[in-house]
């Protein structure tokens, strides 16, 4: 979501649209306002303690955050803002109030949906709370435009949240193809101290049950049980740190690797971004995205843009992000044998991996942040036109 906001905001500014991003301050060291890029300002709003505020505590700070947002607007002349675009349900609650206060349309992107997540929970994972479900219902009912990442997500909004199809638009996210592109695999491996002939499977993302990194570890153990000689070359990279529900089990993956007897082939890397992330994608033979739910799956798209095939779950937006059979493979469900089969196919066939690598880079080129930005600006214009028409009709009726 942070990538989505930063990429689209920056591109809007290049088109002459001024953007202000409101986000909660997480450190006392943060200044009130910083410039992300020319034309893009980030406002850090004090709402609750700076450190140690967990996901479940965030709803308690909605009032404080809303107050900070409204106070910032009050310093401007009336009509300063033209559109409110909220991301995730918490921001949607704030955006709903700001929309009414400022007299502008609300555009909302959910990114994930509680009812969808709860329908596909990993074993032992905690369901999204009822307060979130209610909050999402309210935002969906109030938003002037709902932006879905895929047609599947649009259908979920309509079927599960009774969203108005006329106010629901599908706009796929993009990928930064200037940063994420094919490059020198040997150099990437050298930087990570990996052998040129290693077989490298990589997971990139948050370490929590929703993202299912355990599925990769268990499938790797199954591969080694089937082909013991593979242990000499296999490397499993897990890049990311615990967040959300994973915070309660910060060392769960290390413990699982030891329990499975594969801790000698698994390497844990801290969270990374930018060029450091590019090196992980380029170094891998296959990037694995075994999530239980993904509204789109930017990791899959970024990996493919780097020329790396993907094995992913057949859930959410991943069937859109991955061209099955050409740029990667999709696996239905989370049966470890099925995942081992899919990974084993690519591990055993370097020629197929190379063909998929070429196709992966080409597939990713179909998605760009410029297209996403242009579509969003179009949705903003439509929402503004309809909002003004409704407001004008209300004035005449009164």
Residue 387 annotated as binding site: no
Give 268-293 as a DSSP string: EE----HHHHHHHHHH-SEEEE--S-
Residue 220 annotated as binding site: no
Q: Are strands 33-37 and 40-45 parallel, antiparallel or unpaired?
A: antiparallel
| Residue 23 exposed, middle or buried by CB count within 10 Å (0-12, 13-18, 19+) | middle
- Closest C-alpha to 84, from 69, 63, 64, 68: 69
Could you tell me if 92 and 139 are in contact, meaning their C-beta atoms sit under 8 angstroms apart? yes
Could you tell me if 148 and 170 are in contact, meaning their C-beta atoms sit under 8 angstroms apart? yes
Residue 112 annotated as binding site: yes
Residue 282 annotated as binding site: yes
**HSE-CB of 73 using CA atoms within 13 angstroms:** 24
Query: For residues 287 and 290, what is the distance between their CA atoms, to the nearest angstrom?
Result: 10
Residue 181 annotated as binding site: no
Residue 142 annotated as binding site: no
Token couple for 364: 């990713």
Could you tell me if 135 and 94 are in contact, meaning their C-beta atoms sit under 8 angstroms apart? no
Token couple for 270: 């801290």
Alpha helices in the chain (DSSP H): 2-14, 62-74, 88-102, 114-119, 130-142, 151-161, 185-191, 213-226, 252-260, 274-283, 298-305, 318-321, 336-347, 350-364, 369-397
Q: Phi then psi for 341, rounded to 5 degrees?
A: -60, -50
Residue 88 annotated as binding site: yes
Q: Which residues are annotated as a binding site for 1D-myo-inositol 3-phosphate?
A: 55, 88, 112, 132
Q: Which residues are annotated as a binding site for Mg(2+)?
A: 281-282, 284, 308
Q: Which residues are annotated as a binding site for UDP-N-acetyl-alpha-D-glucosamine?
A: 206, 211, 272, 294, 302
Q: Which residues are annotated as a binding site?
A: 55, 88, 112, 132, 206, 211, 272, 281-282, 284, 294, 302, 308
């Amino acid at each position: 979501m942070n990538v989505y906001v930063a990429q689209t905001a920056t591109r809007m500014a290049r088109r002459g649209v001024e953007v202000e991003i409101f986000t909660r301050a997480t450190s006392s060291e943060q200044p009130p306002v910083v410039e992300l890029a020319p034309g893009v300002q980030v406002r850090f709003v004090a709402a609750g303690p700076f450190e140690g505020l967990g996901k479940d505590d965030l709803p308690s700070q909605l009032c404080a955050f809303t107050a900070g947002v409204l106070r910032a607007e009050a310093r401007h002349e009336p009509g300063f803002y033209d559109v409110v675009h909220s991301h995730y349900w918490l921001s949607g609650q704030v955006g709903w109030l700001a929309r009414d206060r400022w007299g502008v349309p609300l555009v909302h992107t959910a990114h994930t949906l509680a009812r969808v997540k709860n329908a596909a929970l990993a074993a032992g994972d905690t369901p999204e709370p009822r307060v979130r479900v209610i909050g999402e219902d309210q935002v969906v009912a109030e938003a002037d435009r709902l932006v879905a990442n895929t047609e599947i997500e649009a259908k979920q909004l309509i079927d599960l949240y009774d969203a108005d199809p006329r106010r629901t638009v599908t706009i796929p996210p993009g990928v930064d193809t200037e940063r994420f592109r094919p490059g020198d695999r040997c150099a990437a491996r050298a930087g990570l101290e990996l052998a040129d002939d290693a077989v490298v499977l990589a997971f990139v993302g948050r370490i929590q049950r929703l993202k299912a990194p355990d599925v990769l570890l268990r499938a790797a153990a199954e591969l080694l049980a089937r082909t013991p000689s593979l242990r000499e070359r296999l490397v499993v990279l897990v890049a990311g740190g615990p967040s959300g529900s994973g915070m309660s089990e910060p060392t769960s993956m290390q413990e699982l690797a030891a329990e499975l007897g594969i801790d000698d082939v698994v390497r844990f890397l801290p969270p990374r971004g930018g060029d450091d992330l590019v090196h992980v994608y380029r170094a891998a033979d296959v990037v694995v995205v075994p999530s239980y739910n993904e509204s789109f799956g930017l990791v899959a798209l970024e990996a493919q843009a780097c020329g790396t095939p993907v094995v992913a779950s057949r859930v959410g937006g991943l069937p859109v992000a991955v061209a099955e059979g050409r740029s990667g493979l999709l696996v239905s469900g989370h049966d470890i044998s099925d995942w081992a089969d899919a990974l084993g196919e690519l591990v055993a066939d370097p020629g197929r991996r190379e063909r998929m690598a070429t196709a992966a880079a080409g597939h990713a080129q179909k998605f760009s942040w410029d297209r996403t930005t242009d579509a969003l600006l179009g949705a903003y214009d439509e929402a503004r036109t309809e909002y003004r028409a409704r407001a004008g009709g209300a004035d005449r009726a009164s």
